[in-house]
Structure 1
Amino acid sequence: MTDHLTIALAQINPTVGALDHNAGLIRAARAEAAAQGADLVVYPELSVCGYPPEDLVLKPFFLDKVEDTVKALAAETADGGPALLVGAPWRVDGKRHNAALLLDGGAIASIRLKYDLPNYGPFDEKRVFVPGPLPGPVNFRGVRLGVLVCEDMWTPDVTETLAETGAEILVVPNGSPFEIDKIDRRLELAVARVVETGLPLIYLNQVGGQDELVFDGASFALNADRSLVAQLPAFDSRLAITRWTRGADGWTGSSNEMVAPPDALGAIYGAMVLGLRDYVAKNRFPGVLLGMSGGIDSAISAAVAVDALGADKVHCVMMPSPYTSQDSLDDAAECSALLGCRIDTISIGPAMEAFAGMLAPSFAGKQPDITEENLQSRSRGVTLMALSNKFGSMVLSTGNKSEMSVGYATLYGDMCGGYSVLKDVYKTTVYKLTHWRNQSRPDGALGPEGRVIPERIITKAPTAELKPDQKDQDTLPDYAELDDILECLVERDLSLHDIVARGHDAQTVNRVWRMLDRAEYKRRQAPPGVKITSRSFGRDRRYPITSGLLSLVRGS
């Protein structure tokens, strides 16, 4: 039995499926922790394979490789250095589990299986894993550690069992993705578990981007009196040392790691930067290119890209038509200059003339309408994709959640691209983020200090500029009204009656709901993008394209 224990929190950024790379991160963190006298290094959920591995774990050869990697890591602990608590998919009696494995003394000393498998929002663990039994504590060098994996902390069942069976310190490896207010929510739940059990708690979260999910890290540790022992940074890898001492009333921890979490807008911006940075880097793109329209969406997308990748890896392209204003040309050029990135101008006028001539026989007798507007957008999409094919950079889509919700976007036009940082960001939040970025430069950002988005881009009326004097509000409600209605429909699942009761016009609410429903087929073809809200389009919200819901409501 020991009265002193040094536990290192390894907030690492693994890559799904990259076993050798992830093992390298685990080894590097162990070496750093050993130099600081650590007894144990705790890693995130499924740290060996990355989270979420999805259907990779259905492949037996992949699980074989995972086991080989874990056994190799376990053998290395025979050197007398720190033990490792790693996460990996693990087979027990032929069944696949999400497991936490204690590696110590050259062997796999203990295995704990995740009990509560999440199956909501972006999670579908019940599809690939089998739940484990309610666990007892792990005996680590005379200390009984209560190991619970991620979702196991969100309800009291597992912690109650661990406390009743003699756990002394709760340790929670996590793969908990970012969404608005998630950092505060995790802390609230951890405090609840500490109060219920009277035990200190270590919460270790993954950091990094994985497709649409961003893991913000922000790991922490709490004493039994709910005081904060450690707070790791959000959106950054970090190794933190916590030192624990046994007293008459149990274990008490201390640490020098205390980084305040970002404010709400800083957290959203940080998630967008990390999500894009990892998507580009982990998929080995040389950089990104985007259509720079002189509008606010492309401006903030370019700012995120420069902060994530550096100005030398961001290529902006202005693609004017006869309807593009001089203000838009000037604003796009000024914003690119402020960000320090390249901007080229490629007119789509010749493409418009070519399409007009090519389609003239088929369109004879028909008046110009939205078809011609969409041809402009699609000409831009073809141009960007041609540049992407030729030079290898990924096209960054710039559409926001407000537009995607109601279908105010063109398939194979402004919707084309490999990734979107605004996919889950409403237009009103876009405005807030531009003000925030002009006043703040987040830690680790590669872009310049100070103002990066010209004021006129923020203040002028938004427009697609696909016909003379066009404004977004010619087609859509005011964005403040639209976004509130959309949030009620998408995130909160409120009825039309309840939304009207909030003070909205009934006809407007009904129109927005119909646009939302009819645009489902477009959203299925949209690029992936950073999850920000509690319900993003994609994994979080799964509605049928073919549906009789509209007629059902009409008949009610």
Structure 2
Amino acid sequence: MSAHPHQNQHFLNLYNHDFARIAVGVPRCRIADPAFNAAETQKLIIDAAAGGASLVVFPELGLSAYTCDDLFHQRALLDGCEAALATVLDASKDLKIITIVGLPLRADHRLFNCAAVLYRGRILGIVPKTYLPNYGEFYEARQFNSGDDALSTEVSLLGQTVPFGSKLLFAPRDMPFFKIHVEICEDVWTPIPPSSFAALAGATVLVNLSASNITVGKSGYRHQLVSQQSARCLATYLYSSAGAGESSTDLAWDGQALIYENGDKLAESERFSDESHLIFADTDLERMSRERMRQTSFGQSVRVHAAQVSEFRTVDVELEVDREQALPLSRVVPRYPYVPADRTRRDDRCQEVYSIQVQALVQRLTSSGIKKLVLGVSGGLDSTHALLVAAEAMDRMGLPRTNILGYTMPGFATGARTLQQAHRLMTSIGCYAQEIDIRPSCQQMFKDLGHPFAEGKPQYDITFENVQAGERTNHLFRLANHQGALVLGTGDLSELALGWCTYGVGDHMSHYNVNASVPKTLIRHLVRWVAEAGHVSGDARQVLLDILDTEISPELVPASEDTGAVQSTEASIGAYDLQDFNLFYTLRYGFAPSKVAFLAHRAWSDKEVGAWPEEAHVLRNQFELAAIKRTLRIFVGRFFRGSQFKRTCVPNSPKVGSGGSLSPRGDWRMPSDSESVVWLADLDRVPEQV
């Protein structure tokens, strides 16, 4: 049964998943013409509100223009700016959007460079600039005073008594993760920006009203500055700068606007535009909160700077977000969070992961004094990549590749294709290669167990599968004992997450495992990268490509007599494309299943995102919401209930990415007897279709 349309719209509204749509405006201005500037600003506010934004930010001194110089001390201009503010304030009465504009403002017989925070006809607060540049082309100390020198904590403005000061936070009560702080231009260029203390005080959205003339190389530095400040503060950072209309007497202006979230760029404006323009971004407020919870040093910093944090005042506001309309997420959500979509970044990621795995294996062999490895080679992805890492490790240690003792061990369901691939792979790599038929020893085990298969009865149950898997592992460990070698594990992160590994056997247990924190989707690209980056040639390259095109299967149950179909891993546990997506957002951020489903729906509703021409399966997989929910239910059930006991005792393995690992020593700890009830209940909120 499909969900009620109201539920569908609720699910599709980004605000119900702790996102907020935010905007930065760059209006065309006229110098010392506040009425014109207010009109241009007002148009952009209306457009921002129509676009679903809950916050819009404008440049420094935008109502007057930044380049007024000594005109700032003319009463006519200052009166005109207050009148312009009144115009913008009046226009805001019917708009559910927080607006922040810049203007010069008199207080305590002094002049301040200020940001006015407005909402629905109310001035929520006035924030004066703290740091005034007075070097190079800047002469702000000639006209303005620092906010630190202000005497008043409130000002009377346009008939309202308004909080005044640089230590103000603006907090929508109906959006608990949304807390705004404002600083102005030079404030963020200082060693310790005011926004750093604001973040410690709880601000998750940091706003900078800037003018910032353009010089060669400055644009790139702004990117670095904003990116790093958002990353250090674990926050979203909005940056505006002045554009067309500012004085060109001695300077030029490019109107660059930026939005960053925890170091990641969400949006950037066109530079040197002659027209007023806006940029939008949907920021994940919960992500910022989760990062602060996870990074304990953030909380320690709050304690260290408790005196500065305690000085902040909070101004509450009811944002009145409409949560019942359908407001889809307007943000690129990568289908493959472990694998960059950009080819260059993807290759760099593969190079780094590969190097981490190789270095870790070299260290383990060096420290143990052992110079040989035993490896089960199935002709599938995981053992293929482990063999590639082992070969590179031997090369770096100056040891022959024949020190890798490769064994392929066909059982009752081993296909001719994978068996052939295993032999071709070992031959092309140059390791020692041997085939051991495990069927006789498995038959003895079936006989000892009294299993029907020993009597020729085809009972393909869990025991039938596990006897084969266990027999392979038993051989590998005894071979390692006999040869004075380490057993190299092959199981990957995705299998550990889903519990898709037999306890104590090769995809679970080994002396050392190089793959345990690498998800299946990344393994796939690592193998392709080795094939295409010149690391191998000839038949080695071709066999790697053939392995990539092979159905992922444990090959423990014979192919269907009726259809010839082989045992499919993904038919049992869901597509790895989706399961790795589920794993990333569950493990890295702790998001609830309903939000993971929302993100997955966004990722797979865009047919261009993550579609790489060299990956035909990517183009084929366009998951609908019902499939997303069904696969997520499998993930929740397997991850949170019944699989942790396998993860608690995994062998040593290097952690390769910030996306997390499941080693209880390196990253993830949970009780082995936990329940999945709350996660399944949250998943039930997701409709079957929208």
**1:527 partnered with 2:651:** yes
Q: 1:110-148 deviations in whole A, cap 9, x for unaligned? A: xxxxxxxxxxxxxxxxxxxxxxxxxxxxxxxxxxxxxxx
What is the distance in 2 between the residues matched to 1:467 and 1:511? Answer: 21
Please give the residue correspondences for 1:195-234 in structure 2 after superposition, counting only pairs within 5 Å.
none
Letter in 1 for 2:669: Y
**1:470 partnered with 2:560:** no
Which residue of 668, 677, 683 maps to 1:542? Answer: 668
- Aligned partner of 2:350 in structure 1 is 265
Deviation of 1:431 after TM superposition, in Å, equals 1.1
- Per the alignment, do residues 356 and 262 of structure 1 end up closer, same or farther by CA in structure 2, a change over 3 Å counting? closer
What is the distance in 2 between the residues matched to 1:407 and 1:275? Answer: 25
Q: Is the 8 A contact 2:494 2:520 kept in 1?
A: yes
Deviation of 1:350 after TM superposition, in Å, equals 1.2
RMSD: 3.3
Deviation of 1:371 after TM superposition, in Å, equals 1.6
- Aligned partner of 1:376 in structure 2 is 468
Which residue of 526, 551, 555 maps to 2:677? Answer: 551
- Per the alignment, do residues 308 and 460 of structure 1 end up closer, same or farther by CA in structure 2, a change over 3 Å counting? same
Deviation of 1:288 after TM superposition, in Å, equals 0.8
Which residue of 314, 319, 323 maps to 2:413? Answer: 323
Which residue of 277, 282, 298 maps to 2:367? Answer: 282
Q: Is the 8 A contact 1:306 1:313 kept in 2?
A: no
SS of residue matched to 1:482: helix
What is the distance in 1 between the residues matched to 2:458 and 2:550? Answer: 34
Deviation of 1:545 after TM superposition, in Å, equals 2.5
What is the distance in 1 between the residues matched to 2:511 and 2:543? Answer: 24
- Aligned partner of 2:387 in structure 1 is 302
What is the distance in 1 between the residues matched to 2:467 and 2:436? Answer: 16
- Aligned partner of 2:523 in structure 1 is 430
Deviation of 1:542 after TM superposition, in Å, equals 3.3
- Per the alignment, do residues 366 and 309 of structure 1 end up closer, same or farther by CA in structure 2, a change over 3 Å counting? closer
Deviation of 1:549 after TM superposition, in Å, equals 3.7
Which residue of 497, 510, 528 maps to 1:417? Answer: 510
Letter in 1 for 2:516: K
- Per the alignment, do residues 555 and 501 of structure 1 end up closer, same or farther by CA in structure 2, a change over 3 Å counting? closer
Deviation of 1:508 after TM superposition, in Å, equals 2.1
Q: Is the 8 A contact 2:412 2:439 kept in 1?
A: yes
- Per the alignment, do residues 272 and 357 of structure 1 end up closer, same or farther by CA in structure 2, a change over 3 Å counting? same
- Aligned partner of 1:179 in structure 2 is none
Which residue of 471, 494, 514 maps to 2:637? Answer: 514
Please give the residue correspondences for 1:60-75 in structure 2 after superposition, counting only pairs within 5 Å.
none
Please say which of residues 363-372 and 343-352 is displaced more in the overlay. 363-372
**1:359 partnered with 2:449:** yes
Deviation of 1:470 after TM superposition, in Å, equals 0.8
SS of residue matched to 1:454: helix
SS of residue matched to 1:317: strand
Letter in 1 for 2:662: F
Deviation of 1:509 after TM superposition, in Å, equals 1.1
Letter in 2 for 1:545: P
**1:332 partnered with 2:422:** yes
Deviation of 1:377 after TM superposition, in Å, equals 0.3
- Aligned partner of 1:496 in structure 2 is 593
Deviation of 1:540 after TM superposition, in Å, equals 4.1
Letter in 2 for 1:326: A
Q: 1:304-336 deviations in whole A, cap 9, x for unaligned? A: 100111412211101111211111121001111
What is the distance in 1 between the residues matched to 2:462 and 2:656? Answer: 31
Letter in 2 for 1:511: I
What is the distance in 2 between the residues matched to 1:401 and 1:542? Answer: 12
- Per the alignment, do residues 266 and 453 of structure 1 end up closer, same or farther by CA in structure 2, a change over 3 Å counting? farther
Deviation of 1:454 after TM superposition, in Å, equals 3.1
Q: Which has the larger radius of gyration?
A: 2
- Per the alignment, do residues 373 and 451 of structure 1 end up closer, same or farther by CA in structure 2, a change over 3 Å counting? same
**1:456 partnered with 2:546:** yes
What is the distance in 1 between the residues matched to 2:460 and 2:386? Answer: 32
Structure 2 spans left out of the alignment, 5+ residues? 1-190, 197-222, 233-344, 396-400, 559-565, 602-624, 683-690
What is the distance in 1 between the residues matched to 2:425 and 2:473? Answer: 21
What is the distance in 2 between the residues matched to 1:156 and 1:290? Answer: 53
Q: 1:217-267 deviations in whole A, cap 9, x for unaligned? A: xxxxxxxxxxxxxxxxxxxxxxxxxxxxxxxxxxxxxxxxxxx99812111
**1:313 partnered with 2:439:** no
Aligned-residue sequence identity (percent) comes to: 23
Q: Is the 8 A contact 1:434 1:453 kept in 2?
A: no
What is the distance in 2 between the residues matched to 1:516 and 1:320? Answer: 30
Q: 1:40-60 deviations in whole A, cap 9, x for unaligned? A: xxxxxxxxxxxxxxxxxxxxx
Deviation of 1:541 after TM superposition, in Å, equals 3.2
Please say which of residues 380-389 and 262-271 is displaced more in the overlay. 262-271
SS of residue matched to 1:435: helix
Q: Is the 8 A contact 2:491 2:513 kept in 1?
A: yes
- Per the alignment, do residues 458 and 362 of structure 1 end up closer, same or farther by CA in structure 2, a change over 3 Å counting? closer
Which residue of 365, 383, 390 maps to 2:482? Answer: 390
What is the distance in 2 between the residues matched to 1:320 and 1:188? Answer: 55
Q: Is the 8 A contact 1:303 1:452 kept in 2?
A: no
- Per the alignment, do residues 391 and 156 of structure 1 end up closer, same or farther by CA in structure 2, a change over 3 Å counting? farther
Structure 1 spans left out of the alignment, 5+ residues? 1-154, 161-186, 197-259
What is the distance in 1 between the residues matched to 2:347 and 2:524? Answer: 18
What is the distance in 2 between the residues matched to 1:366 and 1:334? Answer: 31
Deviation of 1:355 after TM superposition, in Å, equals 0.8
Letter in 2 for 1:372: F
